[in-house]
Structure 1
Amino acid sequence: MSLQDDLTSVQRRLDDLVRCVGRLEQHVGNSLDMRRVRADADHLRESLTLLREAAPSAAPPGPVEMVIVPDTPYDPALWSDCEDEGLGSPHGHAP
């Protein structure tokens, strides 16, 4: 499933939860525990809305292009004036 499909699926299930909480509240009444359940369901709705807004809407990038590195040795001239990290200057003077 894609991200948008998953978010839509969660939204449907959350809507079902909110409807069930409403029916349960009719049976149980407006007790402290029921208010907590209602608040938790509302909090989930808000969190899902924020997640939907933050989710990337563009299609995921295509496959990554593979870069082939040859097995042949590098030209030693590439390293002629480089310093070895942690060993200091080739002239023996520390910076």
Structure 2
Amino acid sequence: MSVHDELSTLQRCLDDLLRSVGRLEQRIGGGGIDIRRVRADADHLRESVALLREAATAPTALAAPGRGDLVTIPDTPYDSSLWTDSDDEGLGAHRNRH
């Protein structure tokens, strides 16, 4: 299933949730702290899904993730002249060995 299909399914479920919350508010009244909290959570979820939908349809979201920052490391050995001024780490200097 594609991201677009998943988001559409999520939106339908969210719409059902919001309708159910509305019916509950009518039956038990909208003044209680519990139903206000459920309404606030449902509204927050609706806003989060809208942000997710925007992010998923942005041009950068459609590109392959992480492919632009790959670095190729060659299999060839490094030029040993690059290391003439350094010591073998952990072994001490070559000239100080006894």
Tell whether the structures are fold-level matches, with TM greater than 0.5.
yes
TM range (shorter): 0.5 to 0.7
Aligned residue pair count: 80
User: Within 1, Cα distance between the matches of 2:21 and 2:48?
Assistant: 18
Q: Which has more helix, going by share of residues?
A: 2
**Structure 2 equivalent of residue 82 of structure 1:** 82
TM-score normalised by the chain length of structure 1: 0.64
What TM-score, normalized by structure 2, do the two folds share?
A: 0.62
Percent sequence identity is 51
Distance 1:86 1:46, change over 3 A: farther
Extract unaligned runs of 5+ from structure 1.
none
Give the aligned partner of residue 16 of structure 2.
16
**2-side partners of 1:27 and 1:50: how far apart?**
31
For residue 82 of structure 2, what is the amino acid of its counterpart? C
Give unpaired runs (5+ residues) of structure 2: 68-73, 90-94
Give the superposed CA RMSD: 3.1
1:54 maps to amino acid:
A
Give the direction of change, closer, same or farther, for the CA distance of 1:24–1:80 in structure 2 (3 Å limit).
same
Cα deviation digits, residues 37-87 of structure 1 (max 9, x gap):
1111000001111111112455554xx8xxxx88xxx47xx6242227964
**Residue identity matched to 1:15:** D
